[in-house]
């Protein structure tokens, strides 16, 4: 085997590599040396590629065609593979039915069969292509399965990493804060000492209680919540009022209940500014930001005049500055999706369902919140 280079001198040809033989040792051992002739192909310019091509052109088994007469009149199966043995010459090979003559209407005429060990027809080609296609599909399916497995592992690794990050951030937030306090209202129907004890066991240290809303609502559970929370070990952080926009009147209603519950003047008194009717940015707003600021100031004046100086604005993060300008001493910001302390927060309400107990929980960043 060799391949000649292009050259203008036909009398002195040059080659890409020295000529060489390609042999099949197993075939030579069985049948002896049979020269297959020269092979040259301009596509190949290196000996290794040319050798691979030469091996593909070898016919290691001799071509064999046999015609046999079958006993009986049974119809053969076209392309059926059979084992042929010539024990005298110790020759064994596989042959297939290349063609046959069958006489179904003349049982007396035997069937003749042509067997060939190199027969190749369009059906062979189709079968070979189908086999290759099936192998290719199997390989692709194996790759897909591996990718699915890798993707699932990535998902597991991501979840594990994400859980670790969440836990790390939780620890950081706990270290930054003085502690955790919970806030309750009449929505928290369980007022038992056992329930509050459960909160303490999860790490809560303080308790904020809703007292009033507007001018005509009083939380009837407040007294029990304050007393049972204290029994369980929760210090009273303070009380809050749900604001509807009438500053002086609502301030007076809140103050009345603070005094009725004997709430000391040194605790937090918070105004909850979250009702949608107070949104000055709404399309059909019934109040302006300046007007809301005036009403909030009037509310706090009632309290500070009575000696309650530790005022605190409560709202979600988006409402601060968009709805009103904070003027209280402290800012209690609700931001459940945040991963760390909101800027300017004196306390951060980070959960509305702390430990699946149906209670709000907040980090406090000043001693008064714990």
DSSP state of 111: P
User: pLDDT tens digits for 297-309?
Assistant: 999 999 999 999 9
3-state DSSP call for residue 325? coil
Q: For the chain, give the percent of residues with pLDDT over 90.
A: 50
Query: If phi over 0 gives left and psi between -120 and 50 gives alpha, with beta otherwise, what is residue 143?
Result: alpha
Higher per-residue confidence, 363 vs 17: 363
Mean pLDDT of the chain: 86
Q: Residue ranges of the domains in the chain?
A: 1-60, 65-119, 121-175, 177-369
The four Cα atoms 47, 50, 51, 56 give a dihedral, to 10 degrees, of 170
Question: What's the whole-model pTM score?
Answer: 0.58
CATH superfamily name and code, 177-369: Glycosidases (3.20.20.80)
User: pLDDT tens digits for 221-278?
Assistant: 999 999 999 999 999 999 999 999 999 999 999 999 999 999 999 999 999 999 999 9
N- to C-terminal Cα separation, the chain: 92
What DSSP element (H or E) covers 217?
A: strand 217-218
Contact 345, 365 (CB under 8 A): yes
Exposure string (b/e) for 261-291, b if CB count within 10 Å is 16 or more? bebeeebbbbbbbeeeebbbeeeeeebebeb
pLDDT band of residue 20 (cuts 50, 70, 90) is: confident
Residue 5 has pLDDT above 80, yes or no: no
What pLDDT does residue 120 have?
54
Structure-token pair, residue 284: 């059909």
CA distances from 77 to 71, 97, 255 (A): 15, 7, 103
Instruction: Centre a 10 Å sphere on the Cβ of residue 369 and count the other Cβ atoms it contains.
Output: 27
Could you write out the DSSP letters of every residue in 298-317? Answer: HHHHHHHHTT---EEEEEET
Bridge partners, residue 69, by sequence: 112
What pLDDT does residue 1 have?
53
């Amino acid at each position: 085997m060799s391949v000649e280079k292009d050259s203008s001198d036909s009398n002195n040809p040059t080659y890409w590599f020295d000529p060489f033989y390609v042999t099949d040792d197993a075939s030579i051992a069985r049948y002896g040396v049979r020269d297959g002739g020269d092979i040259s192909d301009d596509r190949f310019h290196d000996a290794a590629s040319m050798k691979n091509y030469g091996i593909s052109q070898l016919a290691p088994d001799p071509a064999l065609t046999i015609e046999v007469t079958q006993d009986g009149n049974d119809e053969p199966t076209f392309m059926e593979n059979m084992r042929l043995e010539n024990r005298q010459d110790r020759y064994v090979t596989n042959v297939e039915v290349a063609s046959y003559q069958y006489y179904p209407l003349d049982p007396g005429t035997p069937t003749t069969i042509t067997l060939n060990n190199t027969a190749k027809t369009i059906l062979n080609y189709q079968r070979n292509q189908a086999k290759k296609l099936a192998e290719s599909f199997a390989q692709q399916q194996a790759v897909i399965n591996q990718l699915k497995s890798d993707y699932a592992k990535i998902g597991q690794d991501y979840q594990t990493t994400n859980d670790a990050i969440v836990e790390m951030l939780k620890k950081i937030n706990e270290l930054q804060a003085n502690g955790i306090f919970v806030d309750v209202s009449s929505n928290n129907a369980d007022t038992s000492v056992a329930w509050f004890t459960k909160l303490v066991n999860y790490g809560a240290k303080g308790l904020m209680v809703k007292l009033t809303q507007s001018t005509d609502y009083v939380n009837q559970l407040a007294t029990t919540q304050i007393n049972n929370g204290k029994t369980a070990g929760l210090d009273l952080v303070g009380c809050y009022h749900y604001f509807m926009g009438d500053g002086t009147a609502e301030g007076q209603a809140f103050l009345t209940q603070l005094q009725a519950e004997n709430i000391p003047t040194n605790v937090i008194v918070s105004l909850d500014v979250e009702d949608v009717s107070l949104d000055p940015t709404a399309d059909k707003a019934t109040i302006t930001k300046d007007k809301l600021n005036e009403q909030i100031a009037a509310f706090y004046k009632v309290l500070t005049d009575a000696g309650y100086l530790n005022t605190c604005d409560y709202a979600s993060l988006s409402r601060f500055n968009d709805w009103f300008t904070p003027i209280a001493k402290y800012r209690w910001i609700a931001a459940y999706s945040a991963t760390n302390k909101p800027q300017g927060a004196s306390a951060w309400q980070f959960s509305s369902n702390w430990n699946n107990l149906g209670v709000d929980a907040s980090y406090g960043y000043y001693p008064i919140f714990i």
